Structure 1
Amino acid sequence: MKYLNAAEVLPKDLLIEIQKHIKGEVLYIPSDDGRIRWGEKNGSRNYFENRNEEIKRLYKNGFSLEEISCKYRLAYDTVRKILYKKQLKGL
């Protein structure tokens, strides 16, 4: 990774905007070239999405949070978060 002086590579108006948030620090700007989201390569994302959907189905079918917590060996609060989490678009 090569360090660049932002004043040499960024337009002045963009540099001024960035300086409003951070001054005199090293800032890492990640590349967005073909990035793979967390868990997509090894299947973890799919596993947890499926598990969470199953947890939601069980709850809708009358299972209690305690029963689901025991079945999946998850903390009560973790199950609650899964059930009440709003779906975020674009993830």
Structure 2
Amino acid sequence: MEYTNAKHILPNKLIEEIQQYIQGETLYIPKQEKATRTWGSLNNGRQWIDRRNADIRQAFSNNKSIEQLAKDYFLSVDTIKRIVYTKQKK
């Protein structure tokens, strides 16, 4: 995390107002909610995993064993179970 001196970016009036609540300490100002992005949204990682999981569910419904899916997708048996037995969010 990078720190910026408030004197370099904020107006003096705002600094004086903030100083009524906190002085000489580090203050974290979070991003606005609309500015945050979900995991995998920049590189389509989330879409890739969702597609892979759909393929795993489809193969499982076509009677492919959990052990074979684990081998095919290089995942643990527990991870495959979590994918096939967890209800998919719509």
Query: How does the TM-score come out when normalised to structure 1?
Result: 0.62
- Structure 1 segments, 4+ long, off by >6 Å, are none
Any residues of structure 2 matched to 1:36-55 within 5 Å, and which?
36-55=37-56
Match of 2:11 in 1: none
- Alpha-carbon distance in 1 for matches of 2:74, 2:63: 18
- Which residues of 2 match residues 1-91 of structure 1 at below 5 A? 29-88=30-89
Change (3 A) 1:28 1:64: farther
Residue identity (%): 27
Residues of 2 paired with 1:29 and 1:85: CA distance? 33
Aligned CA-pair RMSD: 2.7
Gapped regions of structure 1 (runs ≥ 5) = 9-25
Q: Counterpart of 1:49 in structure 2: which amino acid?
A: D
2:60 partner letter: Y
Task: Name stretches of at least 5 consecutive residues in structure 2 with no aligned partner.
Answer: 7-16, 22-26
Aligned to 2:9: none
Deviations 1:26-60 (A, max 9, x none): 88654202322110110100100000000000000
- CA drift of 1:85 comes to 1.7
Distance 1:34 1:59 in 2: 38
